[in-house]
A and B are shown apart, each in its own frame.
Chain A
């Protein structure tokens, strides 16, 4: 038994035991995560009596998920903003610039800071406004409440504790409530808890028998009772309380509680009493903020900012020391002879140095790019909301699901992923089980051919003949079977009609499926925990045994063609016992009574367990069926054996007594039930076997192949058996025969032998030794291959139990070394916790960027542990999506998400960051050079407004446009040349080398700006012989800086759209407009006489135009030369691709064509992959009951409340958080 099963069954049995005690002793609380300390007092609720409850002042039912309200917005929002270092720094500098030490007016630093804050606050306000509107929509959803013997519709927010309400089918429960009555018989109702725990299967809640009648308003208003229950807490699976009616105390359990966020299914309506409202509901108390992840690039950015701080400090220090040396009385024109303020006092040079330090700090503050963070935020926000969420390539039309970026923090991280950890079921495979073939009485039915079979056949050179589907064939989701011999009642003419009949009845009766919707074959929907089961029932429907209704004791089947062709009759079978499925039994049985009194036990299960329990004789049938099973297994199908047995009434009665006894026993109930079941599940008669296809998701092999070419290593982490996992891995292109496979399995004889002895300590020690030995051997071998030049690719396959020991700190390094050398790794039989451990092993141990992708609740821990979590928004509910950073509908969209969006985002962000760095450095350095010529006094070179608007207006927009629109190669080329992605993995565009090159050119350019302009203006300009002053020169220099920096931006662009022209041109024009106005207007209040008329003076000279032509070109000459040489002699990969395809028009219409012409279609590629399957297929026969979530479903079916899941514990332990389940689908 695997580790996971251990955990599951042990928690389960514990739960079961305590549950039985729970009836009497309502004191147990299961601690799930953070349980709030409970007030000692119980809460008492007077049902249907608002006046009595009024005294308690319970909270209302309106909820608010907003972060701010009208009054707290400003203080709280500002506080949030100033937690950023850059903002705080600028606040300090702004304060500093209000002192006389500052060379600049406070406006220089206040304007950019306030603009940045304004943008951030507007964004916050906008997001909060949306939350507020969402809250409003929820709060004003109507609900029926009992008033004056009538159902009155009131909004949710008006609901109060103690109210009696009615919830209709498919409606959401507005608050936590006590179930009183239901329209279903026996006070039962079905609920869906997808918003709470992500499970889409239905759960049963049952009212107390005493309250069943209160269905109608007339009756319900007579209901007077008192609920005494615990104080509100956040434990979803517990509830303790009593209901007091007529001095009678009835204990309540979670079974009577309907939680806010769940919805009602399969029940016309229910009536209940509100017990917890608003923020006191369990779902609201569980909502915690998802911890926000920060991308690696941003962390590296922090380092860059720190470096900038270091540079700033060095520059200030140089300037400050210079000022200390410079200051001297001999410069009499500085007026230093009289009493002088400290900063210029030649007698106190040390103080001069210190104060000049402050001066220069404010002067050079522009080196820190204050608007960088807000620009990045904006860019990423648009990238995720407009590009990722709206990409048609990632839109799944079938389920109407677009991709969803739940966070915009990690866009660029998507461009650097090196390891992908993938779940199997639902992610690689569709979790769509289709009834594909069957064998009945030694005869195979079903003409279909699986992909694996086709691949095998092709490899053998057999021409595959596509069997034409018969005209009347039925095709439905879950049913992909075609054989004229069985359909439409034709089975009656088969050699074995009786076996067929039993086969179909077994399919129709022996299951735990719930029918939903209309009771007609076309409209009915089957709700099942395991998709295999639904497929089987569906198959029965198509064979003419239509299961349409279920009550706790009966199953109704509409049978056709049984007695004669075309005859339809409704038959009801009484279900006497259900012998549940669990992973030890691997089978499930139902004892039923026919209308005519016949007692039959139907059983289905794994071939091994069924064969052990067959009656002797008919060896031929057994042999043939086994051969068929192996054939199915090798075709990648999941199989189940079907068997039945007639029971004599007296035998049954005596057995049933034992069964009831076992069922009601308090200790070891599980084991006893298993033992009792064993008594009757014997001497079975084999009917046949079913074969179900576990379909791969569309395009999976192709996607995996592309990703591996992109240098991404793929690990599959699955709870499945090793054989299944390997099979899927082959089908997905993860494994092939050229690979050297290292298999570390716990299913060896040696281990089994030790296990049989049963000494736990001994087992642990032995397995650990064994794993260590194996790992060492594999590692040695791997390193051998690694050193040889043309060694095969390596693959590691390890099972959960071995993994448990391999993850031990002492072996962890070895495991990591081995697995990093492997190009693919398959971990099977792993628990959710182990999935997370493996993920963090690579994340922390190898410091590589990891991505986890999964669809189910069991993947949550893995998704949260990785750098990036991707959820498949598919069939298995929302839990994975809620925990994820990105949600996509199909695995194959990963290709677009990573290779296109991730890559682009990464490149764009790198460009934005390095460009910001460059432009601020260039600008600040010109100031720095000037400082040397002002006696280190800290005189500003530029006017205050120039400096303050430089970052926020004159250079702000173009860089955002680049962050949005820059495309090096088109999306189709990105996918066609996945190797381009490797540049992101190696972080080619944001290395220190890249930053250093930018810095070098920033220094060069700033020197050009400063010296060209100052040297050339040392004589008179223009024919009037007049001289320029400081402000003329600085305005000239600033104009050059603005023009050059904007032109430099054009040079980093790979594609230039209209918006580039508009923004770059606009920025330059904005500068000129600004300076025309600013220097042209002089108001009595703000007399900026320095700048007055400067630009007109400048523009009246030819000097201005020649300089404006020369300086930008001279400054950019170096960059241009560098770009040309770099592209020519040391090109990046993308540049090569650009040149190959430079003549092709980038037409989105051709996207698909381009993708195909050189490559196989996904289908072809998949067949190709399948043809690579090994010659000797494992002789496993599949087993179609291997679905997680099954047991809890079964438990709830029996009225046992769902046990806490292993993955819940893992998830909470790892993250202590739970995404907020929002009941936002209300309408």
Chain B
């Protein structure tokens, strides 16, 4: 009874405060004192965070090698496109990468493409998620245009993305011994287990007149074709890296790694670059100073502003 009435009264009071527009409120007034305090606070927060981030980034050792031009033999450099499209010419190529700093395993191998519009609208939508999961049980591949079928039979996996699968391969040799490259677990687990079917096998893939890129072993289910899975997580920007594998041995300073690669993939038509990157990883990820610099910059500018405001405050006291 009483609680009921009390609740009723409380509700009435709240409504009264609402209609009379006198709800309890805090009134932040951005006085110079507050401005200075907040800037100081931000400086104090962001400079350490930035420094920590930068340190993490600096711990990462990264070796990048652009190989797309050097791997084309001297005589063919005038017409790289016909070189790359000529299947009869062997495409192997050797690169030497010098380790300038100790690299602790695991060392990640990335290939990087530039000017490659994986985020083009026509490209992004040319896939069939259902088919990737259900295979030929799912018939409708219209979303895969223009690579939906060949000889009136559907392609699995269909679509431009799969069709243009990256197909350069890399082998790493240190001091005559081959470095073991782990190609497993390079795709996000959620992709492997939920987006690509365990019982879906490539079918009728790269059988057409035009071959875009890599072929797939029809014996292996899609969920285990991690190259494809990585490739099909389309990138955000036209310049992107994708994980190729892991070297699970440490590399010492001044080690020279010989990379035997098959330069199969055509980036010459559109003037794209191909790079190979070896990188260790910190708790934060790869080598990227941007976040650290941004944090430090934000922190420093906050501090500077705080000081400027303080000086102004002293000079023109209101």
Contacts and interface: CB of A to CB of B under 8 A. Distances in A.
Interface of A: 103, 328, 330-335, 337-340, 344, 359, 386-387, 390-392, 904, 933-935, 937-939, 965, 967, 971, 1012, 1014-1030, 1032-1034, 1053-1059, 1082, 1087, 1089, 1092-1093, 1096-1097, 1101-1103, 1106-1107, 1109-1110, 1113-1114, 1117, 1120-1121, 1123-1124, 1127-1128, 1135, 1138-1139, 1142, 1146, 1148
A328 B133 CA distance: 33
A967 B25 contact: yes
Most chain A CB within 10 A, of B27, B187, B269, is at: B27
B117 interface: yes
B311 to A, nearest CB: 13
B44 interface: no
Contact of B46 (A1027, A1103, A1113): A1113
Given A1025-B279, A1117-B302, 13 more contacts: A331-B117, A335-B147, A390-B19, A935-B117, A1019-B285, A1025-B243, A1026-B188, A1055-B26, A1056-B28, A1082-B194, A1117-B301, A1138-B27, A1146-B27
B164 interface: yes
Nearest to B277: A1019
Instruction: State the 8 A-B residue pairs at the shortest beta-carbon distance, nearest first.
Output: A1019-B286, A1093-B190, A1029-B233, A937-B121, A1025-B108, A1055-B25, A1124-B35, A1033-B236
B198 interface: no
A1089 B129 contact: yes
B238 to A, nearest CB: 6
B30 A934 contact: no
B293 to A, nearest CB: 10
A1096 B190 contact: yes
Contact of A387 (B19, B118, B186): B19
Interface string B253-270: 000000000000010011
B124 A1128 contact: no
B190 A1097 contact: yes
A1120 B28 contact: no
Given A971-B21, A1030-B124, A1146-B27, A1114 B294 contact: yes
Contacts of B283: 1023, 1102
Contacts of B94: none
Contacts of B80: none
Contact of A1117 (B195, B212, B298): B298
A1030 B119 contact: yes
B295 A1106 contact: yes
Nearest to A1021: B285
B83 interface: no
B212 A332 contact: yes
A1028 B187 CA distance: 10
A885 B110 CA distance: 70
Contact of A1059 (B23, B26, B108, B270): B23
B129 A1020 contact: no
Given A338-B146, A1030-B119, A1128 B160 contact: no
A1011 to B, nearest CB: 9
Nearest to B302: A1117
A103 B281 contact: no
Scoring A332, A1114, A1127 by chain B CB atoms within 10 A of each residue's CB, the highest score goes to A332
B20, B21, B117, B236: which has the most chain A beta carbons within 10 Å?
Answer: B236
Interface string B1-42: 000000000000000001111111111111110010010001
B285 A1101 contact: yes
A1139 B31 contact: yes
Contacts of A339: 146
Interface in B163-186: 163-164, 186
A1128 B30 CA distance: 9
Q: Which of A334, A1022, A1059 has the most CB of B within 10 A?
A: A334
B99 interface: no
Nearest to A1101: B285
Contact of B188 (A331, A1033, A1093, A1127): A1093
Contacts of A1055: 25-27
B190 A1110 contact: no
B18 A333 contact: no
A1059 B123 CA distance: 45
B240 interface: yes
B285 A1142 contact: no
Contacts of A1015: 290
A1107 B288 contact: no
A1117 to B, nearest CB: 6
9 contacts: A328-B270, A333-B123, A965-B23, A1023-B281, A1025-B279, A1058-B24, A1093-B190, A1117-B301, A1142-B31
A268 B235 CA distance: 89
A203 to B, nearest CB: 40
Contacts of B281: 1020, 1022-1025
Contacts of A1023: 281-283, 285
Nearest to A1121: B305
Contacts of B204: none
A1114 B291 CA distance: 11
A1028 B119 CA distance: 13
Contacts of B29: 1135, 1138-1139, 1142
A1097 B189 CA distance: 9
A869 to B, nearest CB: 24
B21 to A, nearest CB: 6
B122 interface: yes
Nearest to B312: A1128
B22 A1022 contact: no
Contacts of A1020: 108, 110, 241, 243, 279, 281, 285-286
A331 B230 CA distance: 21
Given A935-B120, A937-B121, A939-B121, A387 B21 contact: yes
Chain B CB count within 10 A is highest, among A1024, A1097, A1103, for A1024
A344 to B, nearest CB: 5
A1018 B241 CA distance: 7
B203 interface: no
A1033 B213 CA distance: 26
B95 interface: no
B291 A1110 contact: yes
A1057 B26 CA distance: 6
Given A939-B119, A1025-B108, A1128 B286 contact: no
B221 interface: no
A332 B241 contact: no
A103 B121 contact: yes
Interface string B207-245: 000101100000000000000001001111111111100
Given A334-B120, A1025-B106, A1110-B294, A386 B18 contact: yes
A1014 B238 CA distance: 11
B146 A332 contact: no
Contacts of A938: 121
B164 A333 contact: yes
Contacts of B240: 1018, 1027
* Residue among B42, B116, B239, B288 with most chain A CB within 10 A: B288
B259 to A, nearest CB: 18
Contacts of A390: 19-20
A1124 to B, nearest CB: 4
B22 A1148 contact: yes
A387 B19 CA distance: 5
B270 A1030 contact: no
B21 A965 contact: yes
A484 B279 CA distance: 110
Contacts of B32: 1124, 1128
Contacts of B286: 1019-1021, 1025
A933 B285 contact: no
Interface in B273-318: 279, 281-288, 290-291, 294-295, 298, 301-302, 305, 309, 312
